[in-house]
Amino acid sequence: MKIHEVVKYPEPVLAKRATEVTEFDAKLAKLVDEMFDSMYAAQGIGLAAPQIAISKRITVIDVSFKERPEEKLALINPVIVEQEGRQVEEEGCLSLPEIREKVVRAEWVKVKAQNVKGEWFEVEGTELLARALQHEIDHLDGVLFIDRISRLKRELVMRKIKKLQKNGEW
């Protein structure tokens, strides 16, 4: 199985809306499997296709990190259809290594998506799963979690990234 490299901010693919998936074939199923493997290799609990430089509306999530395989989610063309409440927790991102900030998200979400066969389904999540769903769907819309923090905090993050880039660590 191929492990894809996770692209880092400010890679342009991370800032644009990904295209809808229209072909549900063996190639898509293989890509989803590779995305799970790539996510695990990078020590993540979620990965969106744009993070591996593929501008398609595909994301994989496993908040248990392999402990409960039955809870693994592959979401094709996902859309948040309902949300409620408010939670504020620290988030990180595989495309922004070493950056963590508190982000406001909905406490509960309902998402409608397609599976690798193209069949529609719904999934509901609270707490960490709700956060992961929102974070990964944001990626598909070209939004990073740093776009959801205050301008001052974002400027501090940008300075940190520039320093890491200058030192060849980014």
Res 1 pLDDT > 90: no
Whether 139 has a binding-site annotation, put simply, is: yes
Bridging pattern class, strands 108-114 and 73-84: antiparallel
Vertex 140: Cα angle to 75 and 95 (nearest 5): 105
| Average pLDDT value for residue range 131-156 | 97
Whether 2 has a binding-site annotation, put simply, is: no
Q: Active site residue: 23, 101, 119, 136, which one?
A: 136
| Average pLDDT value for residue range 40-45 | 97
Distance between CA 56 and CA 6 in Å, rounded? 15
CATH says 12-166 is which class?
Answer: alpha beta
136 has catalytic annotation:
yes
